[in-house]
Amino acid sequence: MFYYIFVLHKVTITMTSSVLLPLHSYLRWLVLAALIFSIYRAARGYFSRRSFSKSDDAIRHWTATIAHIQFVVGMLVYLQSQLVKYFWNDFAAARANLELLFFGLIHSVLMLLAIVVLSIGSATAKRKASDVEKFKTMLVWYIVAFLIIIIAIPWPFSPLANRPLLR
Ligand code: HEM
């Protein structure tokens, strides 16, 4: 019985490093591309007073969905991560280590905040009565979410924690 639990544990750890973490890393680019495109469409629609088309609505919706998928993958990575386990096992010592603090707390809390901002923006834009209000709401909330995500990504040049651009 213990042997099977041990094997299962090893398999999930291997899954994290070989599947989930690279997936989480690649999905970052999809999230960023979707957000940049959404922000561009919202700005274009708002400043040139266009009508909020079906494709604008689909972009609003799919950007939020891609971010939600990344959130779920992030949660799975969090539950399996050895770094995070180490952080919670020795919380006092780990707080002094910026990299452990980043992945144990800062990254996940900021990303959670970004997803909440994005979801509120998406839902509010959907319910606005006029097209100009839809574009404006989407523009403001998506820019805020984008900025939080940019700060919370462990770029190779980030002062908080560094990970490769592609894994
Ligand atoms: C839009 C949302 C998110 C983006 C763009 C994002 C991006 C990233 C990137 C680029 C990495 C580095 C991957 C690598 O090592 O190659 C990373 C690592 C990590 N992310 Fe996220 N993330 C997001 C949300 C989340 C959330 C919501 C959680 C947890 C609740 C999370 C937990 C983690 C953990 C624990 C690691 C480090 C795992 C390890 O090295 O052991 N992420 N994330």
Instruction: Please compute the mean of the pLDDT values over residues 80-86 and round it to a whole number.
Output: 94
Q: Mutation test of ligand 1: which of 24, 70, 151, 158 has the most ligand atoms closer than 8 Å to its C-beta?
A: 24
pLDDT at residue 94 in the model: 85
| pLDDT at position 129 over 70 | yes
Q: What is the pLDDT of residue 4?
A: 58
pLDDT band for position 5 (cuts 50, 70, 90): low
DSSP, residue by residue, the chain:
-HHHHHHHHHHHHHHIIIIIHHHHHHHHHHHHHHHHHHHHHHHHHHHTT----HHHHHHHHHHHHHHHHHHHHHHHHHHH-HHHHHHHHTHHHHTT-HHHHIIIIIHHHHHHHHHHHHHHHHHHHHH-SSHHHHHHHHHHHHHHHHHHHHHHS--TT-SS----S--
Residue 137: its pLDDT value, please?
Answer: 98
Task: Identify the pLDDT of residue 10.
Answer: 65
Instruction: Point out the ligand 1 atom lying closest to the alpha carbon of residue 112.
Output: 27
